[in-house]
Amino acid sequence: MKLAFVRRIAGWCVLALLAGIVVVKPGAGQQPVAQVVQAADQTRFAWSGPTLENHHLASISVFRLGMRHIAEGTDHLLFLLVLLLPAPLLSAAGRWSGQATVRRSLLRILRIVTAFTLGHSLTLALSAFGLVRLPSRPVEVLIAVSILVSAIHAMRPLFPGREAFIAGFFGLIHGMAFASAISELGVTGWYRGVSIAGFNLGIEAMQLMVVALTLPSLLLLSRTPLYAVFRLGGSLFAAVASIAWIAERGFRTSNVVDPLVEAVAHHAAWAALALLVFSLLAWLLESEGEGDGRQSVKVLSGS
């Protein structure tokens, strides 16, 4: 039973890993902004003609632009991943203690991802059509603040059971940042609506890929005592990165942490695979320890 469960999770992660390598390719997370603008220029050219082929090419181009944008947006993904850290846990007396069932953990993660999607999709559309507009600088600062809030929550429960509401609220802020890439495409009218839909689908595809890649490791590792160290370490890393981004974006200071964050993002797929292997080993060792403990109890009781 346990072996089948492990095989299922390993297969899930390998598929997600291969998909990430094929679609994004190693190093996509570190591509300069100039290449994103170049992709936008290609998309604008594709929209210029009325033929069905150009529309098809433009849809693919915008979809890939959305995937690449979220792959480069380490701050967006870091917010979501850190918010998922306490999802497999229960809270009691102001602390994370106890393990939630797999079903409850999956439902909580599904609600968080769905709420974040709805939030950023709404403001992405509104901002892209010019109905909502905020200066980019405060938006970027608020995105960094959202990471800090989620990091503190992963250390100590600030809003247990209400993570989906927080994900939806901050998703509204993240969507305004996504809209800046759409504005660079220079399309109007019906074409703008299609480009928004394709861009958003690309964001969701990459977002789901990242969640699928990390979710099995979180579920497995949360069943071991090592998860507390992993959760606190990940939360601390996110908190330091968010404070550095707040200082950089709000006060124009130099950011010494950003190269480290980008280096981790650059090797994200292989880091996720290493985490999966580590989680499997930790879970198997913990399961064997529990089995030996039960066997010892039976021997001592004379049964």
Model confidence at 168: pLDDT above 60: yes
Distance CA 139, CA 249 (A): 10
CA atoms within 13 A on the CB side of 220: 26
> H or E stretch including 12?
helix 2-24
Amino acid identity at 285: L
Model confidence at 67: pLDDT above 80: yes
**Number of folded domains that form the chain:** 1
Mean pLDDT along residues 249-263 = 90
Distance CA 68, CA 188 (A): 22
Residue 108's domain spans which residues? 29-208+220-266
**pLDDT at residue 269, rounded to an integer:** 84
- Residue 237 in domain: yes
- Residue 254 in domain: yes
> pLDDT tens for residues 198-232?
899 999 999 999 999 899 999 999 999 999 999 99
- Residue 200 in domain: yes
Predicted TM-score of the model (pTM): 0.80
- Residue 213 in domain: no
Cα dist. 30→45, 192, 220, 223, 263 in Å? 25, 27, 29, 33, 8
Tokens found for residue 141: 């600062």
- Residue 156 in domain: yes
Instruction: Decide which of 18 and 116 is more confident.
Output: 116
Cα dist. 76→126, 228, 271, 278 in Å? 19, 24, 18, 25
Distance CA 17, CA 170 (A): 28
- Residue 287 in domain: no
> pLDDT tens for residues 30-59?
333 334 434 444 444 444 444 444 555 566
- Residue 179 in domain: yes
- Residue 301 in domain: no
